[in-house]
Amino acid sequence: MITKDMIKHTWRAKVNFIKVNNYDELSCKAAAMICAQVVLKPNSVLGLATGSSPLGTYEKIVEKCEKGEVDFSKVSSINLDEYVGLDGSNDQSYRYFMNTNLFTKINIDVAKTNVPNGCATDLQKECEAYDALIEQSGGIDLQLLGIGLDGHIGFNEPDSYFEKATHVVELDPSTIEANARFFASEADVPRKAVTMGMGGIMSAKKVLLIANGKNKKEIIEKAFFGPITPEVPASILQLHPDLTVIYSEN
């Protein structure tokens, strides 16, 4: 367990912070970084995220793939999280999101794509197996992240410590409220999720976090220009040696 005090005086890497003018520019840059990773290492392990932030990035990746600029046939992927209780056929599940927005549109082998199973009968075992999978993959080459309004990455919610392992989490009321836009009503948003922990995220060789909108400005400032604290989970990324943040206010 990494507490606040342990990291008070620790070394910080330089954040490569790129401010862009709009969401399209953000998506182009993020897609270019991901595709460059795949061109340089065709069998890359990509850590992928869901939510509204990466939608444009995925569209641009699909375009590049259609133009034959990049080949995903040897790529494997490991997603960050999944709601507990939703299976891949549920259109609100993150497996469904990934299949619909990316996997079925590019030449990735779907058998090499991984999303936690939120319907596993033994969720603890599922979490342990997910960490073993990350390790056996040789580690994530590039991890794509969004950021929640409360600073969560994956579904690592604000807490008094950083949780290292993949785990089951109770979603914050603010996250439930924010994600209600995808469901018929707030009551339909699952209350729990399985999320990769900070260990999996921080062990990625490169991290790329994307965020857009004026409503994310305050949390971006806190996370990347404020103190490192588990109360702002994304702030741990300041310790990552290869972090790029792309932000657009519009």
| Between 11 and 177, CB nearer to ligand F6R | 177
Q: Are 178 and 219 in contact (CB under 8 A)?
A: no
CB of 20 to ligand F6R, least distance (A): 16
**Which one from 152, 163, 167, 240 is the annotated catalytic residue?**
152
User: Is 59 considered catalytic here?
Assistant: no
According to the binding rule CB under 6 A, does residue 38 interact with ligand F6R? no
Query: Which one of 80, 98, 115, 198 is in contact with ligand F6R (CB under 6 A)?
Result: 80
Residue 240 is among the residues annotated as catalytic for this protein: no
Give phi and psi for 22, each to the nearest 5. Answer: -155, 175
In the complex, residue closest to ligand F6R by CB: 146
Helix (H, G, I), strand (E, B) or coil at 151: coil
**Which is nearest to 247 in space by CA: 14, 16, 18?**
18
**Residue 20 touching ligand F6R (CB under 6 A):** no
| Position 148 contacts ligand F6R (CB under 6 A) | yes
Q: Does 152 bind ligand F6R (CB under 6 A)?
A: yes
- Cβ nearer to ligand F6R, comparing 41 with 62: 62
The tokens describing 201, both together, are 């995220």
163: contact with ligand F6R by CB under 6 A: no
**Residues of this chain, 88-147, that bind ligand F6R according to CB under 6 A:** 146-147
> Residue 188, class by beta-carbon neighbours within 10 Å (0-12 exposed, 13-18 middle, 19+ buried)?
exposed
- The single-letter code of the amino acid at 44 is S
Site size toward ligand F6R (CB under 6 A) is: 13
Stretch that binds ligand F6R, among 49-57, 119-127, 131-139, 238-246 (CB under 6 A): 49-57
Of 41 and 192, nearer to ligand F6R (C-beta) is 192
Token digits of residue 60: 């641009």
Rounded CA-CA distance 222/228 in Å is 9
Q: For residue 102, which amino acid is it?
A: L
Check: CB of residue 140 under 8 Å from CB of residue 200. yes
Which residue, 147 or 228, has its beta carbon nearer to ligand F6R?
147
| Residue 49 in the binding site for ligand F6R (CB under 6 A) | yes
Rounded distance between C-alpha atoms, residue 153 and residue 236, angstroms: 10
The verdict on whether 81 is a catalytic residue reads yes
Q: Of residues 81, 82, 126, 141, which has the active-site annotation?
A: 81
Instruction: Output phi, psi for 225, to 5 deg.
Output: -125, 5
Determine if 154 is a binding residue for ligand F6R (CB under 6 A): yes
With a CB cutoff of 8 Å and minimum separation 6, the contacts of 12 are 228, 238, 239
Q: Is residue 157 annotated as a catalytic residue, yes or no?
A: yes
SS3 50: coil
52 near ligand F6R, rule: CB under 6 A: yes
Interface positions with ligand F6R (CB under 6 A): 49-53, 80-81, 146-148, 152-154
Residues labelled as active-site residues: 81, 150, 152, 157
